Amino acid sequence: MKKYCYLKDGNIVLGAQDLPINFENISNFYTLDDELLKTYGWLPYERVSEDKPIFVSSSYEILEDKVIEHYITRDKTEQEIQHDFDNEKKNKWNSIRENRNKLLKESDVYVVSDRWEEMDISNKQKLSFYRNQLRNIPQNFNDPDLVEFPDKPL
């Protein structure tokens, strides 16, 4: 949807926004054409940007028929890219640990003494191996994207 700026005495009073429904006792103000809107101080708004990820600054240029916002942006530095990568990796590891801890907790019910004693050797070995695999996930995988959780044995 087209945006407009309201100007008074050559200055922007209201920045980029939709036209009001009513303005200065004029109903359906938003239906007026651009030439008539201009007489009330409303000019179409346009943003010019390189669409890079980091905002630097902006400035306005008021022309006869529109207001242009020059939106200055920049690319991320190598340091910022590395920081984002490190945070994403940290978040993935946190999620993996949460999932691992949940799975360990779910399997705790099988290692309480009365359940453990009732279990046959084969199931005890499978359960012990499974829980050990879960605990060792952070040590066995260098890349969180390559983590594979073991299958539940029981």
Residues 122 and 141 in one domain: yes
pLDDT per residue as tens digits for the range 24-69: 999 999 999 999 999 999 999 999 999 899 999 999 999 999 999 9
Secondary structure class of 34 (helix, strand, coil): helix
Which of 74, 91, 110 lies at the terminal end of a domain, its last residue?
Answer: 74
The DSSP code sequence of 35-90 is HHHHHTTEEEEEEEE---SEEEEEEEEE-SS-EEEEEEEEPPPHHHHHHHHHHHHH
With respect to residue 107, please indicate whether it lies within any of the assigned structural domains: yes
Question: How many structural domains compose the chain?
Answer: 2
Provide the percentage of residues in the chain whose pLDDT is more than 90.
90
Q: What are phi and psi of 37, to 5 degrees?
A: -60, -40
Mean local confidence (pLDDT), 103-131: 91
Q: Is the pLDDT of residue 114 over 90?
A: no
Mean pLDDT of 115-140: 93
Provide the CB-side half-sphere exposure for 63 (13 A, CA).
10
**Entry pTM:** 0.61
CA distance 15 to 38: 15
Q: Among 74, 93, 115, where does a domain finish?
A: 74
Order of strands across the sheet with 4-8? 11-17, 4-8, 42-49, 67-74, 54-62
Final residue before a domain boundary, out of 28, 43, 74: 74
pLDDT of residue 147 exceeding 90, the answer is yes
Q: Which tokens sit at 73? A: 């942006």
In a domain, 154, yes or no: no
d(CA 146, CA 7) in angstroms, rounded, equals 56
